[in-house]
Amino acid sequence: MSSERFAPLIQSNPDNEMFRFSYGEALFDENKYQECLEHLERCIQKKPDWMIPHILLGKAHLALGRKDEAIPYLKKALVLAKEQHHEDPETEVSALLEDLL
């Protein structure tokens, strides 16, 4: 979905983490990596065990050429994927980390 759809929702309800996540994810999908960071960060501040924002933050930092900043997010995402029994994200994040480390 287009990030333009979510921008007004953020303005009307800035504390809604689902709006933040949807907006951040849409920005990520539009390759607006720097812009998505703030919104995804707010998601994990409210819900530290939310795996997908961690993955997207790691990938966004990688896309921005910030390997060292990406690794902690990806490591946390891997822990969460294992704890929450999400096999596909676990496989994906393991592969990313293997390439980085």
Provide the residue ranges of all domains of the chain, joining segments of one domain with +: 3-100
Gap between the Cα atoms of 56 and 65, Å rounded: 14
- Domain 3-100: which CATH number of 3.30.450.20, 1.10.260.40, 3.40.640.10, 1.25.40.10: 1.25.40.10
- pLDDT tens for residues 61-91? 999 999 999 999 999 999 999 999 999 999 9
Residue 4's Cβ-count burial label (10 Å; 0-12, 13-18, 19+) is exposed
pLDDT tens-place string over residues 87-98: 999 999 999 999
Instruction: Record the pTM.
Output: 0.94
